[in-house]
Amino acid sequence: KIITLSLMGAVLATGHAQARDYDTVRIGVDIPYVPMEYRTPDGTLTGFDIDLGNALCKQAELDCKWVIQGWDGIIPGLQARKFDAIMSSMTINDDRKKQILFSDPYMTPPSAWFTPKDSTISSPNEESLKGKSIGVQRGTVQDNYVTDHYGSNASIKRYATADDVAIDMEAGRLDIAFLDYPTGKAALVDSKSGQFKTVGDMLTEPKKYFGEGFGIAFRKRDRELAETFNKALAELKDNGTYNTLYTKYFPD
Ligand code: ARG
């Protein structure tokens, strides 16, 4: 209730966002994206983003509801008001900042290359990836990066979900995959017992693609809502909750 009043206050003061009820904040998320957002066998939504998102909502005294949305429609879905925020391991970068507003980063993992254990590719570059098939999730920063840097020589295969990338890696239909490190590690290295490894450099640059880590996204006019999440994130970092969740999902 308090947030509703203060949001309306902001609306009246700035003439920005329309007066609307954020008693329930709907959060869009693309699954499966292990270990960030996925369903347990019994159907429960879980993962680092889900647990952190729920903790942030609790801290901010907001009611939140997760809305499942395919990655390629996730920014349009936010703009079309199908949901009010995106918490889906979304990388903050300048291109996206033109369209949407980001919270402070809540995590800053690199991107990484994954190959079968016996692969001869030791350092991915224009030359070593010539004629190879590279798997990415469509519309991700990894897709944008390989499209711009390897697009002319390699065959880039774009998949709807990161799980589909892992499935085709396992089926031997891909030479290499380029994914957010935590997801490639969970989906390939940890879960497919010894079949896959990381190769080459982990990438956090160029910033044009890999930006400033993962953020929660909002419509541009919802600055007040973004600030509410930033405040809650700072509080969870201060009181140890963030750390507990982080070590639960990323023990090493
Ligand atoms: N971090 C990458 C990006 O922002 C990929 C995120 C994909 N997230 C997901 N839940 N499928 O482009």
pLDDT tens, residue by residue, 152-187? 889 999 999 999 999 999 999 999 999 999 999 999
Q: Tell me the fold of 2-108+212-249.
A: D-Maltodextrin-Binding Protein; domain 2 (3.40.190)
- CATH architecture of the domain 111-210 equals 3-Layer(aba) Sandwich (3.40)
Same fold, 2-108+212-249 and 111-210: yes
Query: Is the predicted ipTM greater than 0.90, yes or no?
Result: yes
- Smallest CA-to-CA distance from 110 within 129, 124, 89 is with 89
86-116 pLDDT, tens digit each: 999 999 999 999 999 999 999 999 999 999 9
Give the percent of the chain with pLDDT over 70: 92
pLDDT (average), residues 136-151: 96
Which atom of ligand 1 is closest in space to residue 91's alpha carbon?
Answer: 4
Side-chain-facing half-sphere of 47: CA atoms under 13 Å: 24
Does 180 sit in the ligand 1 pocket, CB within 6 Å?
A: yes
pLDDT (average), residues 126-151: 96
pLDDT-based confidence at residue 8 (cuts at 50, 70, 90): low
Q: Give the residue whose CA is nearest to atom 12 of ligand 1.
A: 140
25-53 pLDDT, tens digit each: 999 999 999 999 999 999 999 999 999 99
* Confidence at residue 2, expressed as pLDDT on a 0 to 100 scale: 47
Within 10 angstroms of residue 51's Cβ, the number of other Cβ atoms is 19
Q: What is the 147 CA–ligand 1 centroid distance (Å)?
A: 16
Q: What is the 195 CA–ligand 1 centroid distance (Å)?
A: 24
Domain coordinates in residue numbering, the chain: 2-108+212-249, 111-210
Buried b (16+ CB within 10 A) or exposed e, 206-225: eeebbbbbbbbbbbeebebb
Does 88 sit in the ligand 1 pocket, CB within 6 Å?
A: yes
Q: What is the 5 CA–ligand 1 centroid distance (Å)?
A: 33
* Confidence at residue 22, expressed as pLDDT on a 0 to 100 scale: 76
**List of long-range contacts for 76-80, beta carbons under 8 Å, 24+ apart:** 77/28, 78/28, 78/217, 78/218, 78/219, 79/219
Q: What is the 89 CA–ligand 1 centroid distance (Å)?
A: 5
